[in-house]
Structure formats: structure tokens, C-alpha cells
Amino acid sequence: MLQTVKSDPYYSINHITGLILKKYLGDALKPYLLPFLLLSSFSQYLHHFHLVTRIAYSTLFSGWQLSKMGIIERIKEIEAEMARTQKNKATEYHLGQLKAKIAKLRTQLLEPPKGSSAGGDGFEVTKFGHGRVALIGFPSVGKSTLLTMLTGTHSEAASYEFTTLTCIPGIIHYNDTKIQLLDLPGIIEGASEGKGRGRQVIAVSKSSDIVLMILDASKSEGHRQILTKELEAVGLRLNKRPPRIYFKKKKVGGFSFNSTLPLTHVDEKLCYQILHEYKIHNAEVLFREDATVDDLIDVIEGNGKYMKCIYVYNKIDVIGIDDVDKLARQPNSVVISCNLKAGSLLFDHQRYMVLPFTLLWGVREDKGLGFCKLVENIRNTLSWNLCASINNAKGKLNFDRLLAKMWEEMGLVRVYTKPQGQQPDFTDPVVLSTDRGGCLVEDFCNHIHRNLIKDVKYVLVWGTSARHHPQHCGLGHFLHDEDMVQIVKRKEKEDGGRGRFKSHSTDPARISDREKKAPLKT
């Protein structure tokens, strides 16, 4: 009979198999089945190793999640304490320390868990073109529709929120350049704390040249404040320049504080307390402008990104002309409409209120005017047919102004090349940027080839940057948009010198190397 095997959890599969083989086949065949037993043991080892790895990773990730929640709670506690504290001369040092603590905690919040190779799954796409623009906004504000209309790339758009779940790139062909436009998922309040996919969206935004903040015209003020707050929390400074503060850590020497002008927001004591919060005891600080505490913290952290932002107000056909006029007058703002129906401005007397300030420039509003009189005044004021251009726009309103504003903020400069003795090439310009790399002749040469600058003798420049056409310029000349450049290289030196100093003899140069001639016969 078969031996009875108790249901003991310590009995393994190998042990049970061995009992069966011993009963029916005997010990003679057991050595031949040893590889199968070893394979079974190895599979069990892999299974246990996989379980242990998953448990360790889940423990590590859960621990990081717990620490992350603790950091968020600590940030909220400090923010509540700052809200309770009155702002006066006596509490400014305490508030400065609290701001430094919040900055440190937010930096820890953005760091990936220790022991992991990355901070999470992202949707970064390869850079392409001469610039990159990111679309940021709340869900269902028209980002996907704007991408489709500007680039022709299909991005799913619907009336419900969170239609876009990943990054969708597109290419804008404008002024002989290619601009990459990224449609990012909508972010919500609390994105800086990791809610939704806010961290991935913000990470891609930091790699862009400028940001288009898409806002619903009917909810613009509240959405703009929330988005600006979320981007500020992760180190994105919109439409700001880096503060003129010199900061350098030192190993020894103590703390040195200087300024080139009177300071009203920061003094030496407050600066010392903020550095002490970061455990920095030896440093040199020099203020070249009247900066704030937040500017000083940004310089100490060193992870801030200063970017240009254009506020794009979509769906302006749902608000009145007074509100559109107010939005269009704000700095760095453009009003558009992606779904304007053709002909609505001509026949619907209630729809004439959608005309934005940018299209009514120079037209005085008169409440007593009717629709036909208003359109007549607009046509007389503008040199082109306003209503015809809107009817032929296929729902696009003020897109040309948006593209022109993007081009202006990106600071792209097109430089055309002219080979010696040939016609200039106006099809493929060299695109430079005032923010990335610069627009000097030296940058132009490095853009073509990194070793070209060694062979440049001078350049000939045609365009607005030249005083006369052409102008002989050096490597430090600043180029303007649509300039034309011809590079003149140095000629290679020939053996034996140039001009009248060139030797026409094939004899050796040194007299000692020449063959002695036979003496003359007398």
C-alpha cells in the first residue's frame, strides 16, 4: 500500500515525490530523475525570490508613501501656522524660517524614493524641432482641440474631463521653423502633491521653452490662481527672471553678507537664520537687487526654473465683450475661440458680443449702435474684411495673434546662409534662440559645426543688424531675425611662404645642407 502522507505544511513536493518513487519504482530509478527534481526546486526558488522581491518593493514603496503623506501633513501644518501669524517687523524672521522649512519639505516631496532608479513612470517624448511649447490647464478647457487645429495631429477631445491621459506631441510649421506642441493631461488642485498625474505633467513642462496656460474664459480667474500656485510649489517661476543674488558655499570662513543697495525685505540676521535652517554655516551672499525671502530661498535651493508663460483664454463666445476686453488687456494674455461657428457674427444679433478687444482695436463702443452699424464701423476702421475673415476661419478666432505671441516669447532668430559665389538659401534657415545658446556670430558658427570657428576669418552680414550691406563682422556680432550671413574662411598656408617671399628654388633652405659646387677652373 501507499504510505500515508500527513498534511504537514513542512512536507515539500520533493519529499512527497521521493516517497512515491521509493514505493513504486524503487531507489534504482531515482538518480535518473534527479534533474527533474532539481528543476522543481529551482522553480520553487524563483517563485519565493519573486515573492520576496515584491514584498520588499511594496514595503519600500509603502514606506515612501507614508513618509510622503507625513511631508504633506507637515507642509499643511506650517502653512496653517503662517496663516495664523501676523505679518509685522517682529515676526518676519519667524516667517522666513517657516518659508525655508516649506521649501525643504517640497524638495523632499519631489524626490523619488531611495533605492529606486527613477521617480515613476513618465510620458516624456523626444524633443523635435526648433522649440517646445507645453499646454497646461484644467481638464476639458480645449487643449486637445487647440492642438488639433494648430498642428493637424489628432488628439481625442470630448465633453467629459480627463479625455487625454498621456502626452500627445504635434508640430507647428510657422515662419520656416518647426515648433513642437505638447498636449498634456489636465492637472487638478493638489498636483504638486502628486494628485492625478500632476508630477509627470510638471516635469515635462520644465523641459519646454514656454508654457501655454489654457484657461476657460468663464472660470479664468480662479483657475489661473490655482495653476500658478501649483506650478510655484514645484519650482516653476512664470514670467519672472532669476534674482540677482550671488550665493556660494564655502568650507571655512564663516558667513559673509553684502549688498550693493539698501534692502527692504531681507537683512543679515534673516539671511543667517535661513542658511542655518539649511545647515549652511560657511557661505558668501551678495545682493545686487532688493530681493525677497522667496528669491533667496530659490537661489539656495537651486532647483527653480524661470519660464515664460502665455495665458490663453478659450471659449470667449460665452462671455460679454466687456469681460473679453478686460482679459485681452492683461499682460501676456491672448483671447481665442476654437469652436466659433461660421456666420454667427453676421446673422445672430446676440452673438456680436463675442468680438474680442484685439479685433475691435480703435473702435469706440457705443451702446446705442445696432449690430449692422457696429459691423460697418469695424469694416471702416480695419483695412480688411473682418466678418469674411471670421467666416473663413473654420471656427478659429484670433489664432494668428496666438502664433505671433508664441513666436515673440520664444525669441527664435532665423539666420539664412549665403555660400561664396552663390545665391542665398532661403528655404532652410539656421534657427538660434536668445534664451538658449545666444544669437552671436560665434553661436551661428557653432550651430553649423563646432570646428568651423577655428577657420573663420570674418563674416559678411546683410540685414537689420548691419550698418551697411554687407558689413564685415567678427564673432561677437549680434544677429537679428532674418539676417543673411556669408562666412569667409582663412586660406591654408602654402609651403615656402607667400608672395615675393616665396622661394622658387628646390634647394634645401640651409646653406650647410646644400651640395658644395666644384671650384672654377682657372
In a domain, 249, yes or no: yes
* 416 beta partners: 484
Give yes or no for residue 462 having a pLDDT over 60.
Answer: yes
- pLDDT grade for 471, boundaries at 50, 70 and 90: very high
Average pLDDT for residues 436-446, to the nearest whole number?
Answer: 89
Percent of the chain with pLDDT over 70: 62
User: Across the chain, what does the average pLDDT equal?
Assistant: 73
CA 513 – CA 405 distance, rounded (Å): 73
Whether residue 263 sits in one domain with residue 153: no
Average pLDDT for residues 128-133, to the nearest whole number?
Answer: 89
Closest Cα to residue 114, out of 57, 70, 194?
A: 57
- pLDDT grade for 75, boundaries at 50, 70 and 90: confident
Residue 490: the pLDDT is 86
- pLDDT grade for 388, boundaries at 50, 70 and 90: very low
79-99 pLDDT, tens digit each: 888 888 888 777 877 888 788
Contact present, 208 and 231 (Cβ < 8 Å): no
Residue 163: the pLDDT is 54
Determine the residue type at 184: L
Range with the poorest average pLDDT among 189-198, 348-357, 370-379, 497-506: 348-357
For 34, list phi and psi in degrees, rounded to 5: -60, -40
209-237 pLDDT, tens digit each: 999 999 998 887 788 888 888 888 778 88
Residue 247: the pLDDT is 94
Return contacts of 345-348, CB within 8 angstroms, 24+ apart: 345/375, 345/387, 345/390, 345/391, 346/375, 346/387, 346/391
In a domain, 51, yes or no: no
283-311 pLDDT, tens digit each: 999 999 999 998 998 899 888 889 999 99
Strands 483-489 and 456-462 come out as antiparallel
Whether residue 397 sits in one domain with residue 432: no
Whether residue 280 sits in one domain with residue 180: no
237-254 pLDDT, tens digit each: 899 999 999 999 999 889
Q: What cell does 432 get?
A: 538660434
Closest Cα to residue 294, out of 136, 110, 92?
A: 92
Give yes or no for residue 44 having a pLDDT over 70.
Answer: no
Whether residue 254 sits in one domain with residue 178: no
The secondary structure of 66-108 as a DSSP string is: HHHHHHHHHHHHHHHHHHHS--STTTHHHHHHHHHHHHHHHHH
3 state DSSP class of 18: helix
pTM across the whole model: 0.66
- pLDDT grade for 398, boundaries at 50, 70 and 90: confident
Whether residue 175 sits in one domain with residue 262: no
More confident residue, 381 or 10: 381
Whether residue 106 sits in one domain with residue 250: no
Give yes or no for residue 11 having a pLDDT over 60.
Answer: no
Task: With residue 17 as reference, give the H or E element that holds it.
Answer: helix 13-24
Whether residue 283 sits in one domain with residue 232: no
Contact present, 136 and 204 (Cβ < 8 Å): no
Residue ending a domain, choose from 350, 380, 410? 410
Whether residue 314 sits in one domain with residue 203: yes
In a domain, 459, yes or no: yes
In a domain, 157, yes or no: yes
In a domain, 211, yes or no: yes
Whether residue 150 sits in one domain with residue 256: no
CA 181 – CA 157 distance, rounded (Å): 16
- Measured distance between the N- and C-terminal CA atoms of the chain, rounded to whole angstroms: 137
The C-alpha cell 519639505 sits at 105
More confident residue, 204 or 59: 204
The C-alpha cell 617671399 sits at 501
The DSSP symbol for 262 reads -
CA 255 – CA 91 distance, rounded (Å): 23
More confident residue, 456 or 343: 456
Cβ neighbors of 37 (< 8 A, separation 6 or more) are 14, 17, 18
In a domain, 99, yes or no: yes
CATH classification of the domain holding 226: 3.40.50.300
3 state DSSP class of 472: strand
Closest Cα to residue 265, out of 92, 9, 18?
A: 92
Whether residue 405 sits in one domain with residue 262: no
Alpha helices in 134-267 (DSSP H): 143-151, 198-206, 220-233
For 135, list phi and psi in degrees, rounded to 5: -95, 120
Q: In what order do the strands lie in the sheet with 255-259?
A: 245-249, 283-287, 255-259
3 state DSSP class of 444: helix
> Alpha-carbon dihedral of residues 507, 512, 517, 521, nearest 10 degrees?
150
Q: What cell does 125 get?
A: 517624448
CATH classification of the domain holding 458: 3.10.20.30
Whether residue 195 sits in one domain with residue 146: yes
For 254, list phi and psi in degrees, rounded to 5: 80, -160
The DSSP symbol for 337 reads B
Contact present, 244 and 289 (Cβ < 8 Å): yes
In a domain, 146, yes or no: yes
Report in angstroms the alpha-carbon separations of 55 from 41, 45, 112, 298. Answer: 21, 15, 19, 39
The structural domain count of the chain equals: 3
In a domain, 62, yes or no: no
The C-alpha cell 463666445 sits at 317
Whether residue 284 sits in one domain with residue 419: no
Domain that holds residue 447: 412-489
Residue 67: the pLDDT is 58
CA 267 – CA 431 distance, rounded (Å): 44
